[in-house]
Protein backbone atom coordinates (compact mmCIF):
# COMPACT_ATOMS: atom_id res chain seq x y z
CA UNK A 1 0.00 0.00 0.00
CA UNK A 2 2.94 2.23 0.60
CA UNK A 3 3.55 2.48 -3.08
CA UNK A 4 -0.08 2.77 -3.92
CA UNK A 5 -0.26 5.99 -1.93
CA UNK A 6 3.08 7.19 -3.16
CA UNK A 7 1.92 6.85 -6.73
CA UNK A 8 -1.12 8.98 -6.15
CA UNK A 9 0.95 11.46 -4.22
CA UNK A 10 3.38 11.77 -7.09
CA UNK A 11 0.50 12.50 -9.37
CA UNK A 12 -0.86 15.06 -7.00
CA UNK A 13 2.44 16.93 -6.89
CA UNK A 14 2.95 16.70 -10.60
CA UNK A 15 -0.64 17.65 -11.12
CA UNK A 16 -0.41 20.93 -9.28
CA UNK A 17 2.73 21.81 -11.22
CA UNK A 18 0.95 21.60 -14.49
CA UNK A 19 -0.73 24.55 -16.02
CA UNK A 20 -3.98 23.17 -17.05
CA UNK A 21 -6.13 24.71 -19.61
CA UNK A 22 -9.37 22.78 -19.82
CA UNK A 23 -8.95 20.18 -22.44
CA UNK A 24 -11.60 21.12 -24.96
CA UNK A 25 -9.15 20.67 -27.77
CA UNK A 26 -5.77 19.12 -28.39
CA UNK A 27 -3.56 19.09 -25.34
CA UNK A 28 0.06 18.38 -26.18
CA UNK A 29 1.67 16.36 -23.44
CA UNK A 30 5.32 16.95 -22.72
CA UNK A 31 7.79 14.29 -21.78
CA UNK A 32 10.06 14.83 -18.87
CA UNK A 33 12.60 12.59 -20.48
CA UNK A 34 13.76 13.69 -23.85
CA UNK A 35 13.44 11.17 -26.60
CA UNK A 36 16.95 10.22 -27.53
CA UNK A 37 17.69 7.72 -30.21
CA UNK A 38 20.53 5.80 -28.60
CA UNK A 39 18.46 2.72 -27.93
CA UNK A 40 19.02 -0.55 -29.67
CA UNK A 41 17.77 -0.35 -33.19
CA UNK A 42 15.09 -2.90 -33.92
CA UNK A 43 13.67 -3.79 -37.24
CA UNK A 44 10.29 -2.29 -37.93
CA UNK A 45 8.61 -5.67 -37.85
CA UNK A 46 9.85 -6.30 -34.31
CA UNK A 47 8.24 -3.18 -32.96
CA UNK A 48 4.93 -3.65 -31.28
CA UNK A 49 2.87 -1.00 -29.55
CA UNK A 50 -0.37 -2.23 -28.07
CA UNK A 51 -3.81 -0.65 -28.30
CA UNK A 52 -5.98 -0.17 -25.25
CA UNK A 53 -8.32 -3.07 -24.65
CA UNK A 54 -12.00 -2.44 -23.97
CA UNK A 55 -11.50 1.32 -24.24
CA UNK A 56 -15.23 1.70 -24.89
CA UNK A 57 -16.27 -0.29 -21.78
CA UNK A 58 -18.72 -2.35 -23.80
CA UNK A 59 -17.24 -5.43 -22.10
CA UNK A 60 -17.49 -4.01 -18.59
CA UNK A 61 -14.42 -3.06 -16.60
CA UNK A 62 -11.87 -5.73 -17.58
CA UNK A 63 -8.97 -5.37 -18.15
CA UNK A 64 -8.94 -1.91 -16.59
CA UNK A 65 -7.57 -1.94 -13.07
CA UNK A 66 -9.54 0.17 -10.65
CA UNK A 67 -9.19 1.22 -7.09
CA UNK A 68 -12.00 2.55 -4.97
CA UNK A 69 -15.43 3.31 -6.38
CA UNK A 70 -16.49 3.14 -10.00
CA UNK A 71 -19.54 2.31 -12.08
CA UNK A 72 -20.11 1.04 -15.56
CA UNK A 73 -22.77 3.46 -16.69
CA UNK A 74 -24.28 5.08 -19.78
CA UNK A 75 -21.39 6.24 -21.91
CA UNK A 76 -20.92 8.38 -24.96
CA UNK A 77 -21.43 5.20 -26.94
CA UNK A 78 -23.16 2.31 -25.18
CA UNK A 79 -21.52 1.89 -21.82
CA UNK A 80 -18.90 4.13 -20.25
CA UNK A 81 -16.91 4.30 -17.05
CA UNK A 82 -17.71 6.60 -14.13
CA UNK A 83 -14.75 6.98 -11.77
CA UNK A 84 -16.05 8.14 -8.43
CA UNK A 85 -12.68 7.82 -6.71
CA UNK A 86 -9.79 7.43 -7.16
CA UNK A 87 -8.62 5.78 -10.38
CA UNK A 88 -8.73 3.34 -13.27
CA UNK A 89 -5.63 2.45 -15.20
CA UNK A 90 -4.39 0.20 -17.99
CA UNK A 91 -0.84 -0.70 -18.95
CA UNK A 92 0.00 -1.54 -22.55
CA UNK A 93 3.16 -2.62 -24.33
CA UNK A 94 5.10 0.10 -26.09
CA UNK A 95 8.42 0.78 -27.79
CA UNK A 96 10.94 3.56 -27.16
CA UNK A 97 10.88 6.77 -29.18
CA UNK A 98 7.41 6.38 -30.60
CA UNK A 99 4.91 9.15 -31.10
CA UNK A 100 1.35 8.58 -30.07
CA UNK A 101 -1.95 10.32 -29.55
CA UNK A 102 -4.40 9.13 -26.93
CA UNK A 103 -7.96 10.25 -27.55
CA UNK A 104 -10.86 9.86 -25.17
CA UNK A 105 -14.14 11.48 -24.31
CA UNK A 106 -14.69 12.81 -20.80
CA UNK A 107 -17.18 14.72 -18.73
CA UNK A 108 -17.49 15.51 -15.04
CA UNK A 109 -20.19 15.72 -12.41
CA UNK A 110 -19.93 17.40 -9.03
CA UNK A 111 -18.06 20.22 -7.36
CA UNK A 112 -14.32 20.48 -7.84
CA UNK A 113 -12.39 20.34 -4.57
CA UNK A 114 -8.75 20.92 -3.79
CA UNK A 115 -7.41 17.63 -5.14
CA UNK A 116 -7.01 17.00 -8.83
CA UNK A 117 -8.89 15.25 -11.60
CA UNK A 118 -7.41 14.28 -14.89
CA UNK A 119 -5.36 11.93 -16.98
CA UNK A 120 -1.84 10.67 -16.41
CA UNK A 121 0.53 8.75 -18.65
CA UNK A 122 3.43 6.83 -17.09
CA UNK A 123 6.35 5.67 -19.19
CA UNK A 124 7.73 2.39 -17.89
CA UNK A 125 10.86 0.33 -18.38
CA UNK A 126 9.60 -2.95 -17.01
CA UNK A 127 8.32 -1.80 -13.65
CA UNK A 128 10.53 1.27 -13.36
CA UNK A 129 8.84 4.55 -14.08
CA UNK A 130 10.97 6.62 -16.43
CA UNK A 131 8.76 9.69 -16.64
CA UNK A 132 5.17 10.72 -16.60
CA UNK A 133 2.84 13.44 -17.78
CA UNK A 134 -0.37 14.71 -16.24
CA UNK A 135 -3.21 16.51 -17.90
CA UNK A 136 -5.50 18.15 -15.38
CA UNK A 137 -9.16 18.91 -15.73
CA UNK A 138 -9.86 21.93 -13.56
CA UNK A 139 -13.33 22.99 -14.63
CA UNK A 140 -16.57 21.08 -15.05
CA UNK A 141 -17.21 19.46 -18.43
CA UNK A 142 -20.94 19.14 -18.96
CA UNK A 143 -21.08 16.90 -22.02
CA UNK A 144 -18.72 14.26 -23.34
CA UNK A 145 -15.82 16.21 -24.84
CA UNK A 146 -12.87 14.99 -26.86
CA UNK A 147 -9.51 15.16 -25.09
CA UNK A 148 -6.35 14.35 -26.98
CA UNK A 149 -2.95 13.80 -25.43
CA UNK A 150 0.09 13.48 -27.65
CA UNK A 151 3.50 12.36 -26.53
CA UNK A 152 6.68 10.48 -27.37
CA UNK A 153 7.89 7.49 -25.42
CA UNK A 154 11.33 8.03 -23.86
CA UNK A 155 14.33 5.80 -24.53
CA UNK A 156 14.02 2.39 -22.84
CA UNK A 157 10.23 2.49 -22.68
CA UNK A 158 8.69 -0.98 -22.71
CA UNK A 159 5.16 -0.01 -21.69
CA UNK A 160 2.95 2.94 -20.94
CA UNK A 161 0.27 3.17 -18.30
CA UNK A 162 -2.75 5.42 -18.67
CA UNK A 163 -4.34 6.78 -15.50
CA UNK A 164 -7.80 8.25 -15.23
CA UNK A 165 -7.89 9.88 -11.84
CA UNK A 166 -10.40 11.71 -9.70
CA UNK A 167 -9.43 12.44 -6.13
CA UNK A 168 -11.44 15.57 -6.23
CA UNK A 169 -14.99 14.94 -5.18
CA UNK A 170 -16.07 14.96 -8.81
CA UNK A 171 -17.07 11.91 -10.78
CA UNK A 172 -15.06 11.57 -13.97
CA UNK A 173 -16.90 9.89 -16.85
CA UNK A 174 -14.78 8.49 -19.67
CA UNK A 175 -15.49 6.55 -22.84
CA UNK A 176 -14.06 5.62 -26.24
CA UNK A 177 -10.42 5.59 -25.15
CA UNK A 178 -8.07 4.91 -28.03
CA UNK A 179 -4.41 5.29 -28.86
CA UNK A 180 -2.93 5.97 -32.25
CA UNK A 181 0.69 4.93 -32.60
CA UNK A 182 2.84 6.54 -35.26
CA UNK A 183 5.32 4.24 -36.98
CA UNK A 184 4.75 1.29 -34.65
CA UNK A 185 2.86 -1.88 -35.42
CA UNK A 186 -0.21 -2.72 -33.38
CA UNK A 187 -0.12 -6.30 -34.59
CA UNK A 188 1.22 -8.52 -31.81
CA UNK A 189 4.38 -10.51 -32.54
CA UNK A 190 3.79 -14.23 -33.11
CA UNK A 191 3.69 -16.24 -29.89
CA UNK A 192 6.88 -17.92 -28.74
CA UNK A 193 6.67 -21.56 -29.77
CA UNK A 194 5.97 -23.86 -26.87
CA UNK A 195 8.39 -26.59 -26.01
CA UNK A 196 5.96 -29.44 -26.42
CA UNK A 197 8.04 -32.40 -27.49
CA UNK A 198 7.13 -33.86 -30.85
CA UNK A 199 6.21 -37.52 -30.80
CA UNK A 200 8.89 -39.46 -32.67
CA UNK A 201 6.67 -42.32 -33.73
CA UNK A 202 3.17 -42.42 -35.13
CA UNK A 203 0.90 -43.98 -32.54
CA UNK A 204 -0.47 -47.31 -33.68
CA UNK A 205 -2.47 -48.31 -30.64
CA UNK A 206 -5.93 -46.85 -30.09
CA UNK A 207 -5.48 -43.97 -27.70
CA UNK A 208 -6.96 -44.56 -24.29
CA UNK A 209 -8.69 -41.53 -22.81
CA UNK A 210 -6.69 -40.24 -19.92
CA UNK A 211 -8.07 -40.89 -16.48
CA UNK A 212 -8.26 -37.68 -14.50
CA UNK A 213 -5.99 -37.83 -11.52
CA UNK A 214 -6.04 -35.46 -8.56
CA UNK A 215 -3.32 -32.83 -8.71
CA UNK A 216 -0.65 -34.04 -6.35
CA UNK A 217 0.83 -31.72 -3.77
CA UNK A 218 4.20 -30.84 -5.25
CA UNK A 219 7.24 -32.00 -3.42
CA UNK A 220 8.43 -29.27 -1.11
CA UNK A 221 11.55 -27.78 -2.71
CA UNK A 222 14.66 -27.54 -0.58
CA UNK A 223 15.38 -24.02 -1.70
CA UNK A 224 11.92 -22.69 -0.79
CA UNK A 225 11.67 -19.02 0.09
CA UNK A 226 8.73 -17.29 1.71
CA UNK A 227 8.10 -13.97 0.03
CA UNK A 228 5.80 -11.68 2.03
CA UNK A 229 3.22 -9.69 0.08
CA UNK A 230 1.16 -8.23 2.93
CA UNK A 231 1.77 -8.46 6.66
CA UNK A 232 1.11 -4.96 8.02
CA UNK A 233 1.52 -3.18 4.71
CA UNK A 234 1.84 -4.14 1.07
CA UNK A 235 5.41 -5.07 0.17
CA UNK A 236 7.15 -2.55 -2.06
CA UNK A 237 7.54 -5.31 -4.67
CA UNK A 238 3.78 -5.50 -5.19
CA UNK A 239 0.86 -3.29 -6.09
CA UNK A 240 -2.55 -3.65 -4.52
CA UNK A 241 -5.66 -3.36 -6.67
CA UNK A 242 -9.21 -4.55 -7.03
CA UNK A 243 -12.20 -5.22 -9.22
CA UNK A 244 -15.73 -4.63 -8.03
CA UNK A 245 -14.56 -3.45 -4.64
CA UNK A 246 -15.73 -0.32 -2.82
CA UNK A 247 -12.58 0.18 -0.83
CA UNK A 248 -9.30 -1.42 0.14
CA UNK A 249 -8.00 -0.52 3.57
CA UNK A 250 -4.55 -1.92 4.37
CA UNK A 251 -4.65 -0.28 7.80
CA UNK A 252 -7.66 -2.18 9.15
CA UNK A 253 -7.60 -2.65 12.93
CA UNK A 254 -10.35 -5.16 13.50
CA UNK A 255 -9.97 -8.05 13.02
CA UNK A 256 -6.19 -8.45 12.85
CA UNK A 257 -4.59 -11.86 12.66
CA UNK A 258 -1.12 -10.69 13.64
CA UNK A 259 0.80 -7.45 14.04
CA UNK A 260 -0.63 -3.96 13.53
CA UNK A 261 -2.92 -4.13 10.51
CA UNK A 262 -4.95 -6.35 8.26
CA UNK A 263 -6.23 -5.63 4.77
CA UNK A 264 -9.96 -4.91 4.61
CA UNK A 265 -11.73 -5.51 1.29
CA UNK A 266 -15.20 -3.92 1.20
CA UNK A 267 -17.43 -5.24 -1.52
CA UNK A 268 -19.67 -3.27 -3.84
CA UNK A 269 -22.44 -5.72 -4.59
CA UNK A 270 -21.69 -8.85 -2.67
CA UNK A 271 -18.88 -9.66 -5.05
CA UNK A 272 -15.36 -8.44 -5.45
CA UNK A 273 -11.74 -9.28 -6.08
CA UNK A 274 -8.65 -7.96 -4.39
CA UNK A 275 -5.45 -8.63 -6.24
CA UNK A 276 -1.74 -8.26 -5.74
CA UNK A 277 0.24 -7.33 -8.83
CA UNK A 278 3.88 -8.39 -8.90
CA UNK A 279 6.18 -5.64 -10.10
CA UNK A 280 8.49 -8.39 -11.34
CA UNK A 281 6.42 -11.22 -12.80
CA UNK A 282 7.11 -14.62 -11.28
CA UNK A 283 8.20 -17.54 -13.51
CA UNK A 284 5.21 -19.85 -13.14
CA UNK A 285 7.10 -23.09 -12.42
CA UNK A 286 8.91 -21.45 -9.51
CA UNK A 287 5.66 -20.81 -7.62
CA UNK A 288 5.19 -23.44 -4.95
CA UNK A 289 2.36 -21.95 -2.89
CA UNK A 290 0.08 -19.00 -2.17
CA UNK A 291 -0.66 -18.58 1.53
CA UNK A 292 -2.87 -16.20 3.47
CA UNK A 293 -5.18 -15.78 6.43
CA UNK A 294 -8.75 -14.76 5.67
CA UNK A 295 -11.64 -13.73 7.92
CA UNK A 296 -14.85 -11.77 8.09
CA UNK A 297 -17.43 -13.60 6.01
CA UNK A 298 -21.09 -13.53 7.04
CA UNK A 299 -22.28 -17.00 6.06
CA UNK A 300 -21.55 -20.16 8.09
CA UNK A 301 -19.06 -21.23 5.47
CA UNK A 302 -18.09 -19.60 2.26
CA UNK A 303 -16.01 -20.24 -0.79
CA UNK A 304 -13.26 -17.96 -2.03
CA UNK A 305 -11.46 -18.29 -5.32
CA UNK A 306 -7.71 -17.88 -5.65
CA UNK A 307 -6.56 -17.15 -9.19
CA UNK A 308 -3.13 -16.78 -10.72
CA UNK A 309 -3.07 -14.65 -13.85
CA UNK A 310 -0.48 -13.60 -16.38
CA UNK A 311 -0.09 -9.99 -17.45
CA UNK A 312 -3.00 -10.33 -19.88
CA UNK A 313 -5.28 -11.44 -17.04
CA UNK A 314 -5.39 -14.92 -18.49
CA UNK A 315 -6.03 -17.30 -15.59
CA UNK A 316 -3.26 -19.87 -15.18
CA UNK A 317 -4.86 -21.52 -12.19
CA UNK A 318 -8.10 -21.27 -10.25
CA UNK A 319 -8.55 -22.82 -6.84
CA UNK A 320 -11.51 -22.62 -4.51
CA UNK A 321 -11.10 -22.61 -0.78
CA UNK A 322 -13.79 -22.84 1.88
CA UNK A 323 -13.60 -20.74 5.02
CA UNK A 324 -15.71 -20.54 8.18
CA UNK A 325 -17.37 -17.33 9.33
CA UNK A 326 -16.22 -15.52 12.44
CA UNK A 327 -12.68 -16.87 12.60
CA UNK A 328 -9.39 -16.66 10.78
CA UNK A 329 -8.83 -19.47 8.29
CA UNK A 330 -5.38 -20.39 7.08
CA UNK A 331 -5.24 -20.95 3.33
CA UNK A 332 -2.32 -22.71 1.65
CA UNK A 333 -2.70 -23.40 -2.05
CA UNK A 334 0.12 -25.43 -3.60
CA UNK A 335 0.87 -25.70 -7.31
CA UNK A 336 2.42 -28.46 -9.36
CA UNK A 337 1.41 -27.96 -12.97
CA UNK A 338 1.80 -24.32 -13.91
CA UNK A 339 2.91 -23.82 -17.53
CA UNK A 340 6.65 -23.45 -17.92
CA UNK A 341 6.41 -20.70 -20.52
CA UNK A 342 4.24 -18.38 -18.43
CA UNK A 343 4.83 -15.78 -15.77
CA UNK A 344 2.46 -14.78 -13.00
CA UNK A 345 1.66 -11.12 -12.58
CA UNK A 346 -1.54 -11.18 -10.53
CA UNK A 347 -2.66 -13.16 -7.52
CA UNK A 348 -6.39 -12.50 -7.20
CA UNK A 349 -8.64 -13.43 -4.29
CA UNK A 350 -12.36 -13.30 -5.03
CA UNK A 351 -15.37 -13.38 -2.77
CA UNK A 352 -18.45 -13.85 -4.92
CA UNK A 353 -21.06 -14.74 -2.33
CA UNK A 354 -20.98 -12.55 0.73
CA UNK A 355 -21.85 -8.88 0.99
CA UNK A 356 -19.71 -8.48 4.11
CA UNK A 357 -16.18 -7.15 3.82
CA UNK A 358 -13.43 -9.69 4.11
CA UNK A 359 -10.02 -9.37 5.71
CA UNK A 360 -6.63 -10.68 4.66
CA UNK A 361 -3.44 -10.92 6.67
CA UNK A 362 -0.05 -12.60 6.31
CA UNK A 363 -0.27 -12.97 2.55
CA UNK A 364 2.86 -14.59 1.17
CA UNK A 365 4.05 -16.95 -1.51
CA UNK A 366 6.44 -19.87 -1.39
CA UNK A 367 8.89 -19.71 -4.26
CA UNK A 368 11.29 -22.41 -5.37
CA UNK A 369 14.47 -20.42 -5.94
CA UNK A 370 16.15 -23.33 -7.75
CA UNK A 371 13.47 -23.12 -10.43
CA UNK A 372 14.35 -19.49 -11.14
CA UNK A 373 18.06 -19.98 -11.57
CA UNK A 374 18.65 -23.39 -13.07
CA UNK A 375 18.17 -24.35 -16.70
CA UNK A 376 16.18 -27.32 -15.40
CA UNK A 377 13.37 -24.78 -15.19
CA UNK A 378 12.69 -25.51 -18.81
CA UNK A 379 12.26 -29.21 -18.27
CA UNK A 380 8.67 -29.26 -19.40
CA UNK A 381 8.15 -32.94 -18.85
CA UNK A 382 6.44 -32.60 -15.50
CA UNK A 383 4.31 -29.65 -16.56
CA UNK A 384 2.75 -31.01 -19.73
CA UNK A 385 0.17 -33.72 -20.14
CA UNK A 386 1.70 -37.07 -20.93
CA UNK A 387 1.57 -38.05 -24.57
CA UNK A 388 -0.35 -41.25 -25.01
CA UNK A 389 1.17 -43.67 -27.46
CA1 LIG B 1 -18.67 2.99 -24.75
CA1 LIG C 1 -0.97 -7.99 10.08
* DSSP notation for 168-212: SSSEEEEEEEEEEESSSB-SPPPPPPP-PPPPSS---SPPPPPPP
Residue 231 has pLDDT above 50, yes or no: yes
CA 78 to ligand 1 center in whole angstroms: 5
Q: What is the pLDDT of residues 118-148, one digit of tens each?
A: 999 999 887 777 888 888 898 899 999 999 9
CA 351 to ligand 1 center in whole angstroms: 28
Q: Nearest Cα to 383, choosing from 194, 198, 210? A: 194
Phi, psi (degrees; rounded to nearest 5) at 209: -60, 140
Contact yes or no for 222/326 (Cβ under 8 A): no
Q: Would you give the distance in Å from CA 215 to the centre of its chain?
A: 28
Lowest mean pLDDT among 21-25, 86-90, 216-220, 254-258: 21-25
Using 50, 70 and 90 to split pLDDT, how confident is the model at 185? very high
CA 66 to ligand 2 center in whole angstroms: 24
Radius of gyration of the chain (CA): 23
Q: Which of 23-37, 244-258, 267-281, 316-330 has the highest mean pLDDT?
A: 316-330
Residue 178 has pLDDT above 70, yes or no: yes
pLDDT at 373: 59
3-state secondary structure of 56: coil
Residue 364 has pLDDT above 70, yes or no: yes
Q: Would you give the distance in Å from CA 7 to the centre of its chain?
A: 15
Q: Which ligand is nearest to the CA of 258?
A: 2
CA distance 134 to 132: 7
CA 34 to ligand 1 center in whole angstroms: 34
CA 2 to ligand 2 center in whole angstroms: 14
CA 328 to ligand 2 center in whole angstroms: 12
H helix or E strand, kind and range, residue 343: strand 343-351
Per cent of the chain over pLDDT 70 is 75
Averaged over 335-353, what is the pLDDT?
89
pTM of the shown model: 0.49
Q: Which ligand is nearest to the CA of 174?
A: 1
CA distance 176 to 123: 22
CA 316 to ligand 2 center in whole angstroms: 28
Residue 142 burial (10 A CB sphere; 0-12, 13-18, 19+): exposed
Residue 289 has pLDDT above 50, yes or no: yes
Using 50, 70 and 90 to split pLDDT, how confident is the model at 105? very high
Q: Which ligand is nearest to the CA of 252?
A: 2
pLDDT at 312: 76
CA distance 137 to 108: 9
Q: Which ligand is nearest to the CA of 231?
A: 2
CA 210 to ligand 2 center in whole angstroms: 44
pLDDT at 29: 36
Lowest mean pLDDT among 29-33, 78-82, 146-150, 295-299: 29-33
In the chain, what is the straight-line distance between the N-terminal and C-terminal CA atoms, in Å? 52
Q: In sequence order, which residues have a C-beta less than 8 Å from that of residue 70 and are 6 or more positions away? A: 61, 81, 82, 83, 84, 88
Using 50, 70 and 90 to split pLDDT, how confident is the model at 383? very low
pLDDT at 375: 41
Averaged over 192-198, what is the pLDDT?
53
Residue 4 has pLDDT above 50, yes or no: no
Left if phi > 0, otherwise alpha if psi is -120 to 50, otherwise beta: which for 341?
Answer: alpha
The average confidence (pLDDT) of the chain is 78
pLDDT at 7: 35
Residue 35 has pLDDT above 70, yes or no: no
CA distance 62 to 273: 12
Q: What is the pLDDT of residues 47-77, one digit of tens each?
A: 999 999 999 999 998 889 887 788 999 999 9
Using 50, 70 and 90 to split pLDDT, how confident is the model at 374? very low
pLDDT at 143: 96
Using 50, 70 and 90 to split pLDDT, how confident is the model at 217? confident
CA distance 223 to 368: 6
Which has more pLDDT, 189 or 226?
Answer: 226
CA 264 to ligand 2 center in whole angstroms: 11
Q: Which ligand is nearest to the CA of 57?
A: 1
Amino acid sequence: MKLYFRTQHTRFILGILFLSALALFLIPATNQTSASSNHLAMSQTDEYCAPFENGGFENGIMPWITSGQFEITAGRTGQGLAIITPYARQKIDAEPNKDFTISLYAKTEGEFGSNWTGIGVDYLDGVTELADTVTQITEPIGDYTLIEISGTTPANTSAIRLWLYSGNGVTLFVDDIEIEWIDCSTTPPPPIPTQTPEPTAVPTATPVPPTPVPTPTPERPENLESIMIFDDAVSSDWYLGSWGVVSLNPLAKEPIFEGENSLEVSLANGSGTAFFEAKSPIPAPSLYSVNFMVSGVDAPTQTFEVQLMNKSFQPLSRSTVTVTAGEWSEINVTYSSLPADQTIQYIAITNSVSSAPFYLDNVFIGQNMDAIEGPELLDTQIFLPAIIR
